[in-house]
Structure 1
Amino acid sequence: MSKPILRTKKRHIIVHNNPKSPVSEAYRSLRTNIQFSSVDTRIQTIMVTSASPGEGKSTTAINLAATYAQAEHKVLLIDADLRKPSIHHTFLCSNRFGLTNWLTNSRPVSEVVVKTFVPNLYLLPSGAIAPNPSELLSSKKMSKLLEELKQEFDIIILDSPPVLAVTDAQIIASISDGVVMVADSGKVKIATAQKAKEKLEHVNAKILGVAINNIKRSSHDDYYYYYGET
């Protein structure tokens, strides 16, 4: 694995920077609800998505991964949005090599997984932009990679593209143990969220619940994340 990334003032992972805030507590509640959402089946790979862009799915994926890491789990966060990757910016790391490079045999996984400044949290960036993201994600190599990573990491969080934008989210959902949908309370329409849910159900995805953000509670606390089973 590559060398650790040094923390800088530009980092903003709320559960790491302000662990006692109400938002951080809500992320921990999300983690707890996921842990208890399935009694008979272990939830190890979790895809985080949304119906449309700009609803906070990447922020949720990052903070959810950090809460698992804080609970002493060895966690891998995968930027599986191969079209518009963004998570590497949060950790100030290069996106030159990552998931796409492994899938195209150009780099071994040990060279593309990065240790972050959050203890127990590792990152697999998306890598170089590929012309065929759907084909890469639906390949046997992608499924094989997840199975191999399950042997090394306790929890794997995958940030996917929005469900209604491209088919990538459905592909990733079909090989994940569970899905968390993120909804912006002030933006998403019920019909839009329902359509996204139906697309996920079409591939037999296990929807663990919905994280609703941008619910205003007071003048001092503008964001609150809530978990509820669908």
Structure 2
Amino acid sequence: MFIRGHDVNIICLTGISEVKPTQNINIHYVNMDKNFRSFFRALFQVKKIIVALKPDIIHSHMFHANIFSRFIRMLIPAVPLICTAHNKNEGGNARMFCYRLSDFLASITTNVSKEAVQEFIARKATPKNKIVEIPNFINTNKFDFDINVRKKTRDAFNLKDSTAVLLAVGRLVEAKDYPNLLNAINHLILSKTSNCNDFILLIAGDGALRNKIIGFGLSIESCG
């Protein structure tokens, strides 16, 4: 959106962003705690921010922000609200009930796959006419195969052409379950299978678990 010339602001409900956007995007920190008093204080703090910004659209991501934004919609009903889920399972029945109960406050809900959309419909989190699939994707016009880039990258890591490269891209946080990936890599190493003896795992990402993952005990290449 920013690249297309739109004015983008981010509201962070809790904590401080560990990874910030490279573009000149304003981040508003609310510092909400997990209690009702802080919740209602945050509601009116965010309302004040939104009234000042006069946005054309509010776009929330994942359960807590989605529900919070629906409360905001009751205070500022004129601004359209897009709620985005990132999984077919954003919690148990209680969370699905919260989605269902507050669905009328969302203009539209999106999810990242057909399977996730169907799951939300099946669990009655939202009706089928109010949810659409917006899949995660890679811009293949920008990220296309390039033999020169391939050689440059392999040279940077001193890799042979025959070495299989496994790439994991994502934030280094608990939700991404990197220990499960590293255990699988360790299993491959210990199996000593002939077609699994020449590979490398590259991890592109940053986050709170960086040092823990680097100290896992495997020889891992971190590429940012």
Using CA pairs under 8 Å that are at least 6 residues apart, name the structure with larger relative contact order, 1 or 2.
Answer: 1
TM-score by length of 2: 0.38
Larger Rg: 2
TM-score by length of 1: 0.37
